[in-house]
Structure 1
Amino acid sequence: MKNFLLSMGLAVLATASQADTKLPQSHLNSMACLENMGQSTSWGQCLSLIFEPCASFEVASKAHVACLQSEREGWTASMRLLQEDVTEAITMKSAEDLASILSGWINYVSQKCQADGDPEGNLPLAAKQLGCQITELAGLSGEYAACLEGRSTADYCVLKN
């Protein structure tokens, strides 16, 4: 499995935009896993890759939450790099469509990842919310990579000629 994901990550890297070359290899591997989910990978395998950097910590411990916060920052940076490249690569109309979609996506993620309970001082809740946010960022990053590589069927992904 690891060899397959490594080769998929390298394939993504070989055909991806300049922003992708700045992405951590672990993010490329995770996006490749998500891209192939249902064919040669599973959701569980992809989650293992996405959260591997934090796997050594006790779930919901302070160290685990700190690791997840760091991972969310890393995925946010990867998503933004890819988003910049997508915005430059797509038509003006597509960029307007993407901006509209993103405003809805931000609200969607906020609502989806908001768990019941009091987030102050509740480490299990914080870990759950961070995990949700990270998986959403990984998915969006993968979609951006697919757009840049010409594999996306999303309506917003109309590349300039």
Structure 2
Amino acid sequence: MSAFRTILLLCSLAATAPAVAQTSPTLRTDLAVLSGCLRDSGSSPSACIGAVAVACVRAASNDPRGAEAGCARREEAAWRQRLTIALQMTGRRLDAGQRSRLAALQLAWESYVTQKCAFYGATQREALQAGRQAGCELREVAGRAIELAKVLPQAAGRRPQSPPRIIR
């Protein structure tokens, strides 16, 4: 993650409302695919990791190996959007000290992922390195987005279907 992107992330944790991101048509489509998959996956959101990238690679039938890195980065962008929103929502519930710790944790996590996936990529044959490193980053970002989404209150702001009954 670039230093600029990290600074933006840290600033967004302090924001009181999520920023409305300008997204490309491709990213909007990919976000819709992920949302549909996550809605349909029930309690297995990790089954959606690869939903965009696999279809993208299959569509590149003339050079699937060459498309791996680009397709993984494309899906990673959608998961990263979800991760950023989850971090913002989590940060809103925290006091300033806790937000600072969350930002430090996220920065350390980003560093870990960068190092882990670079190492993994470097252990592959040269022709596979870029695709495997991008796939590693995709899996890590998606997993983190799923992890944070689980801790968000799912019923926040919902009213019960019927009023509670008072038992005497």
Question: TM above 0.5, one fold?
Answer: yes
Relative distance call for 1:123 and 1:87 in structure 2 (3 A) is farther
Letter in 2 for 1:117: A
Hey, what's the Cα distance between the residues in 2 that align with 1:100 and 1:66?
29
Name the TM-score, length of structure 2 as normaliser. Answer: 0.56
The answer to whether the Cα contact below 8 Å between 2:53 and 2:68 also exists between their aligned partners in 1 is no
Note the aligned Cα RMSD (angstroms). 3.5
* Structure of higher CA gyration radius: 2
Query: Amino acid of the residue matched to residue 105 of structure 2?
Result: I
Contact 1:60 1:126 in 2 (8 A): no
The structural deviation recorded for 1:125 is: 0.7
Does the residue aligned with 1:61 lie in a helix, a strand or coil? Answer: helix
Matched, 1:27 2:42: no
Going from structure 1 to structure 2, the CA distance change for 1:79 and 1:123 (only over 3 Å counts) comes to farther
- Tell me the SS of whatever aligns to 1:63: helix
How far did 1:69 drift? 2.1
TM-aligned CA deviation for residue 130 of structure 1: 0.7
| Contact 1:31/1:139 (<8 A) preserved | no
Amino-acid identity (%): 20
**Alpha-carbon deviation of 1:104?**
1.4
Partner residue in 2 for 1:155: none
Q: 1:67 aligns with which of 55, 59, 71?
A: 71
Provide runs of 4+ in structure 1 moved above 6 Å. Answer: none
**TM-score where L is the length of structure 1:** 0.58
Describe the shift of the 1:116–1:148 C-alpha distance in structure 2 as closer, same or farther (beyond 3 A): closer
Structure 1 pair 55/99, CA: closer, same or farther in 2 (3 Å)? same
Correspondence list, 1:12-161, <5 A? 24-28=31-35, 29-30=37-38, 36-37=43-44, 45-49=47-51, 51-56=53-58, 57=60, 61-114=65-118, 115=120, 117=122, 122-149=126-153
Q: CA deviation at 1:138?
A: 0.8
The 3-state SS of whatever aligns with 2:122 is coil
